[in-house]
Amino acid sequence: MDFFGKNVFNDTVMREKLPKNTYKALHKTLDEGLPLQLEVAEVVANAMKDWAIENGATHYTHWFQPMTGYTAEKHDSFISPTADGRVIMEFSGKELIKGEPDASSFPNGGIRSTFEARGYTAWDCTSPAFLREDAGKVILCIPTAFCSYTGEALDKKTPLLRSMETLSKQALRILRLFGNSTAKRVTPTVGAEQEFFLIEKKYHQKRLDLMLTGRTLFGVLPPKGQEMEDHYFGSINERVTAFMQEVNIELWKLGVPAKTQHKEAAPGQYEIAPIFATTNIATDHNQLIMDTLHKVANRHALACLLHEKPFAGVNGSGKHNNWSLSTDEGANLLEPGTTPHENAQFLTFICAVIKAVDDNAELLRASAANPGNDHRLGANEAPPAIISIFLGDELSDIIEQLKIGKPNTSKQGGQMTIGVSTLPSLPKDSTDRNRTSPFAFTGNKFEFRMVPSSLSIAGPNVIINTIVAEVLSQMADRLEQADDFHSELQAILREVAINHSRVIFDGNGYSEEWVKEAERRGLPNLTSTVEAISALISNKTIDLFKKHGVFSHTELHSRYEIYLELYSKTINIEALTMIDVAKRQVLPAVVRYSTELANSINTIRTADPKADVSAQKDLLNEIAPLLKDLGLIIKDLQDATTAAKQLHGDAYRQGILYRDLVFKTMNELRQIVDHLEVLVDYEMWPLPSYTKMLFRL
Ligand code: ADP
Ligand code: MG
């Protein structure tokens, strides 16, 4: 309690430090989305600077989230020289609300023309400024949006804020129809559970693959993996506990409500989850969590791996994006109510989400696509690449009954008409049993489980917010025109139940049967990133985002280009890293060991011509052809990489080539190297083993 939020310029601090009228004016901006006046910004900037300096700050930065998916910052000190050779500490309103970093070195997907390299950052005053303490240097971080000279979003935050705006507008239309005339805003809330691995830093530094690509490109699983199911929720050792506690303290100071942490399913795997917040703040929090995990791990001689699949053979990592809708009056719109009226409203929002997900399954899938996630989705550990919704027995039953027209209140009978009858109560725990569903209703929120562990949650939430806003707007259009609200609502919900039940699936999402069943139902199954992201530039997507003012045509194309390039560049780096490690570390080690075996055979035979050296010979014979193949396949991979690289004119075809040729050859190379690992002397093997990395902590 003493230090939670100590480093945040939060509402309490603002109330204390700002003149009353400035505080009020700022709140008008925050609560009602009104533009911020420069005079107000001037006063806020001054108060913010004084507060920051009191707390030891010397620098400030506009903290933004470019398309790299990481955060970006450029530190400027507050100092300003005076005539007498001293300095004063200055910070103006203009510096608070606007920055002008060079945009040319950030991914922009062709948006920025070379003659206008300037980018602009603008304060997102809905997310509080905070102080970061890095090795004694205290920096005032101002959360900002980042756009080009011509106003296109070059970041992840701008579209997120836009999507929140449209969702609020459309959700309010629905609330008004249900007679709520007082709510001013509806905000999507998000709680993101973050999975990660921890390993000893000294091993991390000995693995070029981990250092450059975030995942092990070679490595054999030891005789024990995760099959004993003894890691999940296991007791946390003291070294990791010390790490976790420091992470908590850092996060609490930053106002990030770190709440839950536990061991995950794979050895060496953990999870941390904060308490949910408004989407843009939750996004900032998640970025701070990822950043803090890295920094604190380093202090503890650990390495934190946020990659989706650092180790083959055990579970990879994801990020569960818990999502709901909340009014400024504090109501959770996905919380089942107790009166018929509340139930009708609840069902309306539930049905809106169902239709939104079914109408836009490809887009939702695209929002969770990154090269790392290609290793997870569809493997038997993460949700499949097929989008479906889990509702739980009770809610599924209600949707089933909606189809018939006059739904029963429960299996026990009784007639239900929307807005007239009460729903059977939905036991919260019964809705949370299916862990294999990519999009699960968990009592009072939906949990999108496809999100990759290293990805910014901004993208997936932009999509969820916008597709739900779209369906709400379709519903509002009809309901506002309707003569009889309740019968029109009943018709709408019935249509959703009939037309979109195909996306509801409560069974085992990991099973082979589901893949076939989903195909029968006509649900898309996009297994790779390259295919999945095409959805970003379909005409349907372009129209949707234009209508809601979330992405322009140009912005969508730029994102498509950026993601395709990101895919190709990632595979390219992985391939080159593999070649480097195979050629300069693995091959020499295998040669050394073969020579040792040959020397042993010769030496022993010289000493005793009748000695049995068959063990050495057998081993040598097993290794020799693999060594030869290793040489050949390294060359194949070099050729494949060169061929793919040359195709740079066509980002899509290049992506496909990286996937079908380069990635395939990488797997062949890995097989040979992994086979060699179990033949070569443990002491001679150049890479720290999976055993060391996964079981030594
Ligand atoms: P589990 O592992 O069972 O899914 P956790 O407790 O690890 O659950 O995480 C649940 C997450 O959902 C937490 O971050 C929590 O704050 C968040 N959450 C709870 N209610 C809401 C809500 N209304 N909107 C968004 N997120 C929520
Ligand atoms: Mg959890």
Q: Specify the pLDDT at position 229.
A: 84
Atom of ligand 1 nearest to the CA of 324: 24
**What single-letter amino acid sits at 577?**
T
Contact indicator for 371, 571 with CB cutoff of 8 Å:
yes
All residues at 6 or more sequence positions from 293 whose CB lies less than 8 Å from its CB, including other chains:
194, 196, 247, 272, 304, 306
Question: Do 237 and 111 lie in a common domain?
Answer: no
Q: Is the CB of 190 under 6 A from ligand 1?
A: yes
Buried-state track 194-217, b at ≥16 Cβ within 10 A, e below 16: bbbbbbbbebbebbbbbeebbbbb
**How far is the C-alpha of 24 from the C-alpha of 27, rounded, in Å?**
5
pLDDT at residue number 565 = 95
Cα-only R_g, the chain? 28
CA separation for the pair 210, 285 (Å, rounded):
25
CB 44, CB 96: distance < 8 Å:
yes
| CB of 273 closer than 6 angstroms to any ligand 1 atom | yes
Output the CA 439–ligand 2 centroid distance in Å: 15
pLDDT value at residue 116: 66
612: left (phi over 0), alpha (psi -120 to 50) or beta: beta
Residues of the chain with pLDDT under 70: 112-116, 380, 405-433
- Which atom in ligand 1 lies closest to the alpha carbon of residue 323? 25
The answer to whether the CB of 272 is under 6 A from ligand 1 is no
- Please write down the HEC assignment for all residues of 159-197: HHHHHHHHHHHHHHHHHHHCCCCCCCCEEEEEEEEEEEE
Q: Are residues 654 and 525 in the same domain?
A: no
pLDDT score for 422: 57
Residues 545 and 572 in one domain: no
Q: In angstroms, what is the span from residue 194 Cα to ligand 2's centroid? A: 8
Pocket test for ligand 1, best of 289, 445, 446, 449 (most atoms within 8 A of CB): 445
Residue 195 near ligand 1, beta carbon < 6 Å? no
Q: Going by CA atoms, what residue is nearest to atom 3 of ligand 1? A: 432
For the Cβ of 318 lying below 6 angstroms from any atom of ligand 1, the answer is no
Q: Is residue 436 part of a domain?
A: yes
Phi then psi for 69, rounded to 5 degrees?
90, -10
| Residues 533 and 655 both lie in one domain | no
Residue 490 and residue 356 share a domain: yes
Q: Is residue 556 part of a domain?
A: no
Q: Is 487 in the pocket of ligand 1 (CB under 6 A)?
A: no
**CATH classification at residue 109:** 3.10.20.70
Ligand approaching nearest to the C-alpha of 274: 1
Same domain? For 91 and 198 the reply is no
User: What is the reported pLDDT for 421?
Assistant: 56
Instruction: Show the DSSP H helices in 376-511 as ranges.
Output: 393-404, 458-481, 485-500
Structure tokens, 524: 């898309």
Which residues, 6+ apart, have CB-to-CB distance to 491 below 8 Å? none
The CA-atom distances, in angstroms, between 105 and each of 63, 73, 666 are: 16, 13, 30
- For residue 187 and ligand 1, the question of a CB distance below 6 A is answered with no
Query: Which ligand sits closest to the CA of 278?
Result: 1
Whether residues 402 and 380 share a domain: the answer is yes
* Claim to verify: residue 538 and residue 597 sit in the same structural domain: no
Is 53 inside a domain boundary?
Answer: yes
In angstroms, what is the span from residue 344 Cα to ligand 1's centroid?
24
Q: Are residues 597 and 628 in the same domain?
A: yes
- Please state the atom number of ligand 1 nearest to the C-alpha of residue 432: 3
Q: What is the pLDDT of residue 428?
A: 56
149 lies in the same domain as 170: no
Contacts of 90 (CB under 8 A, 6+ apart): 49, 78, 79, 80
| Ligand 1 neighbour 281 (Cβ under 6 A) | no
Q: Which residues pair with residue 324 across a beta bridge?
A: 189
Domain of residue 678, CATH code: 1.20.120.1560
Tell how far the Cα of 188 is from the centroid of ligand 1, in angstroms: 13
Closest among 344, 343, 357 to 426, alpha carbons compared: 343
Q: What is the pLDDT of residue 28?
A: 87
d(CA 318, ligand 1 centre) in Å: 15
Whether residue 276 has its Cβ less than 6 Å from ligand 1: yes
**pLDDT score for 411:** 45
pLDDT for the residue 409: 46
Taking the CA of residue 274 as reference, the ligand 1 atom at the shortest distance is 14
Distance from residue 276's CA to the centre of ligand 1 (Å)? 6
Rounded Cα–Cα distance for residues 118 and 98 (Å):
12
**Ramachandran region of residue 663, left (φ > 0), alpha (ψ -120 to 50) or beta?**
alpha
Closest CA to 319 of 431, 432, 454, 445: 454
Nearest CA to ligand 1 atom 11: 191
Residue 687 Cβ contacting ligand 1 at under 6 Å: no
Token duo for residue 606: 């010289």
190 CA closest ligand 1 atom index: 25
Q: Is 188 in the pocket of ligand 1 (CB under 6 A)?
A: no
3-state secondary structure of 596: helix
Residue 481 corresponds to which amino acid?
Q
Q: Which of 167, 269, 322, 431 to mutate to test the pocket of ligand 1 (most atoms within 8 A of CB)?
A: 322
In this structure, the residue with its CA closest to atom 13 of ligand 1 is: 191
Q: What are phi and psi of 15, to 5 degrees?
A: -65, -35
pLDDT digits (tens, 9 = 90+) for 529-538: 999 999 999 9
Question: In this structure, are strands 137-148 and 277-278 parallel, antiparallel, or unpaired?
Answer: unpaired
Which uninterrupted H or E stretch holds 564? Answer: helix 553-581
What is the best residue among 276, 323, 442 to mutate for testing ligand 1's pocket, by most ligand atoms within 8 Å of CB? Answer: 276
Residue 2 lies in a domain: no
Which two three-digit tokens encode residue 170? Answer: 């459309």
Ligand 1 close to Cβ of residue 286 (< 6 A): no
Residue 339 lies in a domain: yes
Q: pLDDT at position 426, please?
A: 59
CA dist., res. 559 & res. 414, Å (int)? 51
Tell me, what's the pLDDT at 414?
Answer: 43
Amino acid at 664: K
Domain carrying residue 128: 11-155
Between strands 446-448 and 87-89, the pairing is unpaired
How far CA 343 is from CA of 213, 351, 409, 420, 442, in Å, comes to 49, 12, 11, 9, 17
Please indicate, yes or no, if residue 6 is contained in any of the structural domains. Answer: no
- Ligand closest to the CA atom of residue 447: 1
Are 128 and 257 contained in the same domain?
no
Output the residue whose Cα is nearest ligand 1's atom 8.
193
371/319 Cα distance (integer angstroms) = 15
Any idea which ligand is nearest the CA of 432?
Answer: 1
* Contacts with 65 (C-beta within 8 Å, 6 or more apart), sequence order: 71, 72, 146, 155, 156, 157, 283, 287, 456, 458
Based on the fold, state whether residues 134 and 245 are members of the same structural domain: no
Asked if the structure places residue 3 within a domain, the reply is: no
Which one of 129, 155, 181 terminates a domain?
155
CATH code, domain with 214: 3.30.590.10
Residue 651 domain flag: yes
- Domains in the chain: how many in total? 3
Assess whether the C-beta atom of 324 lies below 6 angstroms from ligand 1.
Answer: yes
- Stated as kind and residue range, the H or E segment containing 63 is strand 57-63
* Nearest ligand to the C-alpha atom of residue 259: 1
